[in-house]
Structure 1
Amino acid sequence: MDDSRIIKTEYSEEMQKSFIDYAMSVIIARALPDVRDGLKPVQRRTLYDMHELGIRYDRPYRKSARIVGDTMGKYHPHGDSSIYEALVVMSQDFKKGMPLIDGHGNFGNIEGDGAAAMRYTEARLQKVTQEAFLADLDKDVVDFVPNFDETEKEPSVLPVKIPNLLVNGSEGIAVGMATSIPPHNLGEVIDAVKAYMLNNEITTKELMRYLKGPDFPTGGIVINKDELEEIYETGTGKIKLRGKVEFQKGKAGKTNVVITEIPYTMIGANIAKFLSDVAALSETKKTQDIVDISNQSSKEGIRIVIELRKDADPENFVNMLYKKTRLEDTFGVNMLAIANGRPETMGLKQIIKSNVDFQFEVATRKYTNLLAKEMERKEIQEGLIKACNVIDLVIEILRGSKDRAMAKACLVEGKVDGIKFKSKESKIMAAQLMFTEKQANAILEMRLYKLIGLELEALINEHEETMANIYRYEDILDRRDSMAQVIMNELDGFKKEYSHPRKTVIENGQEAVYKEKELEEMDVVFLMDRFGYAKTIDLSTYERNKEAADAENKYVFTCKNTGRICLFTNTGQMHTVKVLDLPYGKFRDKGVPIDNVSNFSQAKEELIYITSQKELNLCQVIFATAESMLKVVDGGEFDVTKRTVAATKLAEGDTLVSVTALTDQRNIVLQTKGGFFLRFAVDEIPEKKKGAIGVRGMKLSDGDLVENVYYTKNAVETTIEYKGKELVLNNLKLGKRDSKGTKVRV
């Protein structure tokens, strides 16, 4: 390899440069919208491609796959899923204040179901997109840049005539920054833009007389009206949203709480989560007011019905929903967009200013282009009118010329050499002709029927119309007020045709005050079977089914319904579960897997001991590990509220074998895999903190480990089954801690 071609550079510098380049690419060319047209590159390219393919609002739908493939091949060399997702979102009326694409087929729904595959769905542009986003692309109003392989040209920005960034909002995550702009009402946005154009010194507060706040397609209620001014001034803040709730009379005097509008943040999978959260409130006994819950939503709109008990307080119940579910939520506002090629957080007035400046720029380029065309048309029209006035001379020149060049030279420069004229007068008149190059070409290409009287009259009328257009275009270009009036007239037209009444209510809502019913503390019985399904039942139910409950369950003990259950595992962890998180009810109910309500994982850990936190607080606990490390710990050390804590410290490779509450046990018996047993007094085990490893219980042979731990009591014979035969532990020789023990052969 030629060493001269190797560029030596500092690794950290190269990484820094590469990351910055990547970050800027994501920020500028993918994730953030342009303040001028309110579109991200993928959206802009998709709309432009549809325009190029002629998929107008008044033409048949075309397969989405065709649009996606064409966009990817010509303009957007990224994954097809990102292009199709952008197309789908631009068609969803529950996400966009003003959908830009007319979708045909399954384009998903508000409950989070995705769109059908692109090979099944079809799409075309909406009328507003055609008229307000793509209308003037042929008039050189925006710059066109080469596409990724320089085989096509694409617009750097679309000549959008409405402030799309505010109307449709935008959400995107870049590198180190994100944008979140809520949608707004088209009519209000247009009114605010016109107010700014009439007075560019207008304040944000004055602008908000026209633009009240966000207008979400899902409706709902904004409850922090007084905070909106600061949000729109700075471009950042939090909008508090609530769903719309109605009370309706149900069966037998019951009250139904009907949710007819949801917060914008709830659309998608969060609707299902809301339903499960409401059901959980009932299951965990946070409320006993719910009789039934049903989702009756359809294409007509959202309708979630919660049937309450007859004596329930509906107002208090709704306040509980606001507090404990996403029926009240926040929409984080961060109005970040690309302005002048760089990301910038902008307030309402800055966004409107940027859009108005863009409108003037587009209008200036449009009317400059139109004026140039009209001036060209005027020149030709004047040439034709002049030619018609001396048509006999023109015909004489044409008939006397040898070729087109000779005739053209006579018309433009008055050259008469070589042309045969009928008279000297004609030659003198021909020498005085002074047509322009364009006029001469038009005369030479003029058809004879243009000499008909009516055609001449039409030409004169057309010339008058051209002159009127020239006067109008010059006035628009020379006077900013005239151009402003043209822009405002266009905005009025869009408002008249496409605006709709506001959907979101804006008010200063009162803080939701929920009076939680005091939970009556009582004793319950915890049951968990060998498959890990846990539940609680009341004491009387347990007493009636005591024999079956003890036989069918691995763990059975009494605890408080307000307390916690502690789960010790072989990895040395202690997981806690609120008793209220466990289902409480009938004896034959299945229960819930303990994995589902705790951090315990059956796949990674083995459960070795379960007790209630209350019982744990009242006693000491003996820990024993596979490498025979022992200690006694005060149970009060485990009075914690964390879901998971380290219950003990383990040496590397060691595991916890036994955790037992110390009550009236006299001796401990350690049994190894190799068949060694050691019985010694429990008093020999020292008390340590939970963070200690402990002391050695018995000496182990190489490769041997403690397999089981047993306890014996005074005057009580303890028998186990070992290798198929009974073994009385009390008969084992009493030894000392940290000795070898004896080999038991049976």
Structure 2
Amino acid sequence: MTAASTEPTDPQIAERIEDVDVSTEMQGSFLEYAYSVIYSRALPDARDGLKPVQRRILFGMTEMGLRPDRGHVKSSRVVGEVMGKYHPHGDSAIYDALVRLAQPFTLRVPLVDGHGNFGSLDDGPAASRYTEARLAAPATAMADGLDEDVVDFVPNYDNSFMQPEVMPSAFPNLLVNGASGIAVGMATNMAPHNLVEVAHAARHLIENPEATLDELMEFVPGPDFPSGGTIVGLDGVRDAYATGRGSFKTRAKVAVEQLSARKTGLVVTELPYLVGPEKVIEKIKDGVNAKKITGISDVADHTDRKRGMRLVIGIKTGFNPQAVLEQLYRLTPLEDGFSINNVALVDGQPQTLGLRELLQVYVDHRMRVVTRRSEFRLARRRERLHLVEGLLIAILDIDEVIQVIRTSDDSEQARSRLMQVFDLSQIQSEYILELRLRRLTRFSRIELETERDDLLAEIARLEELLGSEARIRRLVADELEEVADRFGTPRRTMLTEGRVLPARQAARSATATPLEHADVPCRVLLGATGRIARVDRPEGTDELVITVPTRRSKHDALRSSLDTTSRSEIGAVTSRGRLIRFSPLDLPALPANAPQLAAGVRVADYLGLADRSERVLAIVSLTSDRPIVLGTAQGVVKRVTAGGYPNRPDFEVISLKAGDEVVGAAQGGDDDELVFVTTDAQLLHFPASNVRPQGCPAGGMAGIKLADGARVISFDAIKPADLDRVVVVTVAATSDTLLGADPGAAKVSAFEEFPGKGRATGGVRAQRFLKGQDSLAVAWVGPAPAHALGADGAVRGLPDALDKRDASGTPIDAPVAVVGRRIG
């Protein structure tokens, strides 16, 4: 089939008819359209993570001077500037992209600082004439160096302006903020990540070019969504990092709270990525009306600026909140899927990239940026040095210079004569002719000589930098670290290794009591480095027996453990004197044969501790008849009356004095032995029966008498059955070495060597300080063998032989941060 096209039939113009093959024309036009969409609209560049419209918005705002320290301007002004100069595709497309760059719930690190209604997960933004915008601080890092020839510039659509082909991008924006887009025949959907984690992974790749994916995932374990939530199951994440494609489930962060004296509810404080509360409420109402969801009395959205996200779901009397929550995960967006498809442009071609490839493309880009920047600065320094040297020549022979200029007929002759007489270049001569008389002072000469010396030093440094790829790599790594320190924030999304049933299988497994797992006996393990997990009783066994790992690995030292059931409610005692209720149901389940705490989750993330200085010290039962016992840094001891705890998600179990904190907690009876260890190496132990149990509001009583400047660093309760195998571990150091500058000396002694004394006395010496030592950095009392770990969770060695009670210990090779007992 052919199509005919004719031009106007003017008598003076000959008629022209062209025969065009329709299939060929359609194929060519489609390819041009597809290329335009892929390259110029839908897919981001792997180097800066920006689509063309986003890049043009940031560049346009940079050219307008809309820096973070300037005032906001109307968004419509930005849209007009970008559309008129760089992006002639309509104002709606530009404003939509501008809005996305400003939404904190869409980007992990927003690049535009918006003022006004920029929308929410459930509502769109106001019109551009009502909102205002300026660049956010991280956007300045994206554009830093544009005036130093770090990237190529290309003409705009009508060749009237120049625009950058790619932004310098001081941080890996594509990984940090993710991207989404639909092109022709392909699409991209990339998850946001934590800036600090990605920067550390990039630094590791810079320093170790042959780094493997497993090594990089030590730094980037998974996505980090702006809305928080929980990623359930990391197999899909690893697939995405290995191949560029993968999928996983995300869950809302939900807590069971007592809404009133008789009403329990589910409180949602974090939702899956890009899921709004109104969408959740709508799905819950539809499920209740269709009788697919039971046990819900009401739903209310209490979200506000002060408390943030807070969706309250009321539970009917008699219904198990955990059972209702399982229904909601299965039937509403409280559990949502996320599919990763890492498609981005590399050298103008769309490619599917894994984590290592994404980092490598960015690192190569930054290497080129830093190299070009250094070359530009070197050229400018050399040009300035050339002028300064000419000025110094002129100042040294200023009388002769003036005479040459005065006797010349015109400036051209003066320039030529200066070049001949003083052996100057044309640029130097021009600069001298423009010299102002006030520069002809002795002070100016001193300034010029100082400037010359500084320029020579700077030129030498830049030449040395450009002559060594290793130095450039080090500089790129240092700049990444600086950006991460400036703009990095803690991780918001928690990662768990849990498994989620497929929808059909979950529907088939639903029963009258819709519980996904049985309430089985388990043991909750709290590591000394702050990781928590559970070990379930193997099916078909009557007793929970945990096999001790044959090889110790990272984090495998216990602070506390508790035998309970997977759906019970237990408590976590913190250093602030709080007890936080929680269920071990969603904790990572470790195998009973050789469990490793490195596979657990951080207990601070699991419990949602807002203040990172608050530490979890022990896991306790809320139904046991054994009191909770606590010891504080100021030497206070308290036993909390068993049972009768307030029916609240968290509550105080001790009233602390100003500046005090809990250093140890346990659950013990009257026959237990309570042990204090202080920074000045004093150990005191006495029977728990000497401490009368008190209610939660009480402040405790004197436990140990402290010397001036001393504080308690270890407290525990020892069971009578363990007394014959209990050891005391102490590590002595100077005050300065508490930061890890010097490992110090460690000592392991039998607990039996320490005589008991009365409560509120001063104790006995636990280690003799050598010259240069003045305090204990670490102390621990518990059943042997003791396991020591470094700050990063790595295993540390301790002396094998038992030492005397007041010995000075043995020097150790590496700093010890914590000591705990063996799993088992």
Residue-by-residue CA offset, 1:29-65 (whole Å, 9 max, x unaligned) = 0011111111111111111111111111111111111
Letter aligned with residue 467 of structure 1:
L
Residue-by-residue CA offset, 1:535-565 (whole Å, 9 max, x unaligned) = xxxxxxxxxxxxxxxxxxxxxxxxxxxxxxx
> Does the residue aligned with 1:251 lie in a helix, a strand or coil?
coil
Q: Indicate whether 1:321 and 2:328 are aligned.
A: yes
Q: Indicate whether 1:458 and 2:464 are aligned.
A: no
Question: Could you tell me which residue of structure 2 aligns to residue 726 of structure 1?
Answer: none
Q: What pairs with 1:528-539 in structure 2 (closer than 5 Å)?
A: none
Letter aligned with residue 125 of structure 2:
A
> Does the residue aligned with 1:133 lie in a helix, a strand or coil?
helix
Equivalent of 1:500 in 476, 489, 498: 489
Deviation at 1:169, TM superposition (A): 0.3
> Does the residue aligned with 2:124 lie in a helix, a strand or coil?
coil
Kept in 1, the 8 Å contact 2:194–2:224? The answer is yes
Q: Indicate whether 1:474 and 2:463 are aligned.
A: yes
Q: Indicate whether 1:97 and 2:104 are aligned.
A: no
Letter aligned with residue 130 of structure 2:
Y
Equivalent of 2:311 in 298, 304, 310: 304
Instruction: Return the alpha-carbon distance in structure 1 between the equivalents of residues 46 and 510 of structure 2.
Output: 47
Letter aligned with residue 136 of structure 2:
Q
Question: Could you tell me which residue of structure 2 aligns to residue 373 of structure 1?
Answer: 380
Kept in 1, the 8 Å contact 2:249–2:500? The answer is no
Question: Could you tell me which residue of structure 2 aligns to residue 284 of structure 1?
Answer: 290
> Does the residue aligned with 1:264 lie in a helix, a strand or coil?
coil
> Does the residue aligned with 2:143 lie in a helix, a strand or coil?
coil
Question: Could you tell me which residue of structure 2 aligns to residue 485 of structure 1?
Answer: 474
Quickly say closer, same or farther: Cα 1:251–1:517, change in 2 above 3 A.
Answer: farther
Which structure has greater helix proportion?
1
Q: What pairs with 1:190-589 in structure 2 (closer than 5 Å)?
A: 190-267=199-276, 271-299=277-305, 300-414=307-421, 433-511=422-500, 516-518=510-512
Instruction: Return the alpha-carbon distance in structure 1 between the equivalents of residues 16 and 461 of structure 2.
Output: 63
Deviation at 1:125, TM superposition (A): 0.6
Residue-by-residue CA offset, 1:601-660 (whole Å, 9 max, x unaligned) = xxxxxxxxxxxxxxxxxxxxxxxxxxxxxxxxxxxxxxxxxxxxxxxxxxxxxxxxxxxx
Instruction: Return the alpha-carbon distance in structure 1 between the equivalents of residues 294 and 438 of structure 2.
Output: 91
> Does the residue aligned with 1:312 lie in a helix, a strand or coil?
coil
Deviation at 1:403, TM superposition (A): 2.5
Kept in 1, the 8 Å contact 2:251–2:336? The answer is yes
Kept in 2, the 8 Å contact 1:74–1:147? The answer is yes
Deviation at 1:4, TM superposition (A): 7.3
Deviation at 1:3, TM superposition (A): 7.5
Q: Indicate whether 1:123 and 2:133 are aligned.
A: yes
Kept in 1, the 8 Å contact 2:233–2:500? The answer is no
Deviation at 1:285, TM superposition (A): 2.6
Deviation at 1:356, TM superposition (A): 0.9
Instruction: Return the alpha-carbon distance in structure 2 between the equivalents of residues 336 and 517 of structure 1.
Output: 42
Equivalent of 1:144 in 142, 147, 153: 153
Instruction: Return the alpha-carbon distance in structure 2 between the equivalents of residues 384 and 95 of structure 1.
Output: 56
Kept in 1, the 8 Å contact 2:253–2:270? The answer is yes
Deviation at 1:5, TM superposition (A): 4.1
> Does the residue aligned with 1:56 lie in a helix, a strand or coil?
coil
Kept in 2, the 8 Å contact 1:265–1:329? The answer is no
Instruction: Return the alpha-carbon distance in structure 1 between the equivalents of residues 199 and 334 of structure 2.
Output: 31
Quickly say closer, same or farther: Cα 1:454–1:36, change in 2 above 3 A.
Answer: same
Deviation at 1:343, TM superposition (A): 0.8
Letter aligned with residue 461 of structure 1:
T
Question: Could you tell me which residue of structure 1 aligns to residue 174 of structure 2?
Answer: 165
Kept in 2, the 8 Å contact 1:297–1:304? The answer is yes
Kept in 2, the 8 Å contact 1:263–1:329? The answer is yes
> Does the residue aligned with 1:344 lie in a helix, a strand or coil?
strand
Instruction: Return the alpha-carbon distance in structure 2 between the equivalents of residues 220 and 45 of structure 1.
Output: 33
Kept in 2, the 8 Å contact 1:231–1:238? The answer is yes
Letter aligned with residue 410 of structure 1:
R
Kept in 2, the 8 Å contact 1:45–1:75? The answer is yes
Letter aligned with residue 281 of structure 1:
G
Q: Indicate whether 1:133 and 2:142 are aligned.
A: yes
Quickly say closer, same or farther: Cα 1:165–1:147, change in 2 above 3 A.
Answer: same
Kept in 2, the 8 Å contact 1:49–1:70? The answer is yes
Residue-by-residue CA offset, 1:368-392 (whole Å, 9 max, x unaligned) = 1111111111111111112222223
Instruction: Return the alpha-carbon distance in structure 2 between the equivalents of residues 251 and 291 of structure 1.
Output: 14
Letter aligned with residue 59 of structure 1:
R
Kept in 1, the 8 Å contact 2:105–2:274? The answer is no
Instruction: Return the alpha-carbon distance in structure 2 between the equivalents of residues 234 and 175 of structure 1.
Output: 21
Quickly say closer, same or farther: Cα 1:393–1:48, change in 2 above 3 A.
Answer: same
Kept in 1, the 8 Å contact 2:284–2:293? The answer is no
> Does the residue aligned with 1:7 lie in a helix, a strand or coil?
strand
Instruction: Return the alpha-carbon distance in structure 2 between the equivalents of residues 453 and 293 of structure 1.
Output: 81
Instruction: Return the alpha-carbon distance in structure 2 between the equivalents of residues 373 and 510 of structure 1.
Output: 59
Letter aligned with residue 458 of structure 2:
N
Equivalent of 1:42 in 46, 49, 53: 53
Kept in 2, the 8 Å contact 1:265–1:331? The answer is no
Comparing 384-393 and 307-316, the one that deviates more: 384-393
Instruction: Return the alpha-carbon distance in structure 1 between the equivalents of residues 261 and 389 of structure 2.
Output: 88
Instruction: Return the alpha-carbon distance in structure 1 between the equivalents of residues 197 and 38 of structure 2.
Output: 30
Percent identical pairs in the alignment equals: 42
Equivalent of 2:39 in 22, 28, 41: 28
Letter aligned with residue 82 of structure 1:
A
Deviation at 1:21, TM superposition (A): 0.9
User: TM-score, with normalisation over the residues of structure 1?
Assistant: 0.65
Deviation at 1:201, TM superposition (A): 0.7
Letter aligned with residue 311 of structure 1:
G
Gaps of 5+ in 1: 415-432, 520-746
Instruction: Return the alpha-carbon distance in structure 1 between the equivalents of residues 389 and 67 of structure 2.
Output: 38
Question: Rg: which structure is higher?
Answer: 1
Instruction: Return the alpha-carbon distance in structure 2 between the equivalents of residues 4 and 350 of structure 1.
Output: 57
Question: Could you tell me which residue of structure 2 aligns to residue 184 of structure 1?
Answer: 193
Instruction: Return the alpha-carbon distance in structure 2 between the equivalents of residues 277 and 18 of structure 1.
Output: 44
Kept in 2, the 8 Å contact 1:205–1:229? The answer is no
How big is the alpha-carbon RMSD for the aligned residues of Structure 1 and Structure 2?
1.7
Equivalent of 1:55 in 58, 66, 69: 66
Question: Could you tell me which residue of structure 1 aligns to residue 626 of structure 2?
Answer: none
Instruction: Return the alpha-carbon distance in structure 2 between the equivalents of residues 492 and 518 of structure 1.
Output: 54
Letter aligned with residue 81 of structure 1:
S
Task: Say how many residue pairs are matched.
Answer: 496
Gaps of 5+ in 2: 1-8, 514-824
Deviation at 1:405, TM superposition (A): 2.4
Instruction: Return the alpha-carbon distance in structure 2 between the equivalents of residues 178 and 46 of structure 1.
Output: 22
> Does the residue aligned with 1:42 lie in a helix, a strand or coil?
helix
> Does the residue aligned with 2:150 lie in a helix, a strand or coil?
coil
Q: What pairs with 1:660-739 in structure 2 (closer than 5 Å)?
A: none
Residue-by-residue CA offset, 1:476-531 (whole Å, 9 max, x unaligned) = 21111111222222212211111000000011124366864459xxxxxxxxxxxx
Letter aligned with residue 444 of structure 2:
E
